[in-house]
Amino acid sequence: MSFAQVLLNLQGPWINAAVGILLSFVAERWPAYAALPPKDKRLLMLVACLLIPGLAALTAIAGGYQSPGWDATTWPALFAGLLSFSATTIAHTRKLA
């Protein structure tokens, strides 16, 4: 699998896997994470769900793997991040409340 394909997958199907790895690393390395209120943990999840596909899209554009454009590149990546956050939050809201 090429680097370009990894960047494209991080803009869609791999968002949850990447966010899970990132948040697992944060929870392991940052002891105060366990003491955060559920709302703050959800905010970190939202930031990660938007940051990962957004940075993947920007990296793909900067590397010449994708053409720049909001309609074809950036909006779909951010929309996929919002969907990822929504699905995860809906699935786990009772556990976080």
Q: Are 31 and 87 in contact (CB under 8 A)?
A: no
What mean pLDDT comes out for the span 68-88? Answer: 80
Beta-carbon neighbour count of residue 59 at 10 Å? 17
Q: pLDDT (tens digit, 9 = 90+) per residue, 28-72?
A: 999 999 899 988 888 888 888 889 988 998 999 999 998 887 777
Among 57, 55, 76, 54, CA closest to 66: 57
Every domain of the chain and the residues it spans: 3-96
pLDDT (mean) for 76-94: 77
